[in-house]
Amino acid sequence: PEVDSGGPSGIDYYEVEGEPDLLPNDTREDALELTTASIWLQDNETDWFYVDAPDDGKAHLIEMTQTHSAGMITTVTVYAGADFSTIGQHNGGLTGPGATRYTYTTVGPGTRTLFAFHVTNSTKGRSELSYTLRTEDDDYEPNQSKDEAAPIELNTDVTAQTWIPYISGNDRVAADFFLLNLEAGDLTFRLLSIPENQSFQVQLIPLGDGPTKLVANTSKGATGSWTATVPEAGQYALSLADSAKLKPFTTTPVANLTEGYSFRVEQ
């Protein structure tokens, strides 16, 4: 919300020290849409904001920046708008002047994500907030189920990315599915590149009848080649599921947030 309260230029929402909030936002029901904000926190007050992600079939990364006054210790808690489950929290550790906290939250398409900012010591002061929203760099999305498997060609390099598309506590699948037309016989799965903090369980799933076949359990950050046998010709979904237990919330820009992975299937 753009509120002209005499604050500095470039700040869309500004709270004045010692005065009531122009737009009350001390409960999650009154959360304000965040663009840029300068808030005044005191007396165990909590300010709530939300960020909406586009409904485009892809995961999104909310990179939040918070800078605040000297002596303040604050907590930021991030909640999913769908079920109010806690995505992540960072306590304290930001003690000014001008100290800055970055948090990174990955969310699903069409989601609303809530951010609650709370001062956790007796100090009061100003906190500056801003964020950027980035979209997963993956042309094969949405492909997070067998039914949405993205068609790929044999003997061709495929590059994709894995972010956890957090929607709710029960809807946060980190897996990519790819559709292949295969002949009976052996195939080779080659993992060509992968972020250092990522690993996969790779499975071959027939679109018709038949059992799922384990192709590989990769090690974190490691590439390699694995061979599997296709029992009969047909369409299969190749599943690459996160096995490194990636988190949807972090305070450091881990590798999978900036890097993709690549593979090819040969037959």
Q: pLDDT of 175-223, one tens digit each?
A: 999 999 999 999 999 999 999 999 999 999 999 888 999 999 999 999 9
Q: pLDDT of 138-165, one tens digit each?
A: 999 999 999 999 999 999 999 999 999 9
Which whole number is the average pLDDT over 30-59? 93
Which DSSP string corresponds to 141-174? -S--SGGGPEE--TTS-EEE-----BSBTTB---
Q: How many CB atoms lie within 10 A of CB 231?
A: 13
Answering whether pTM is above 0.85, one says yes
Predicted confidence band of residue 3 (pLDDT cuts 50, 70, 90): very low
Residues 61 and 106: beta-carbon distance below 8 Å:
yes
Q: Which pLDDT score is estimated for 94?
A: 59
Q: Residue 208 burial by CB count (10 A; 0-12/13-18/19+): exposed, middle or buried? A: exposed
Q: pLDDT of 63-95, one tens digit each?
A: 999 988 777 788 999 999 999 999 999 986 555
Q: Which pLDDT score is estimated for 31?
A: 96
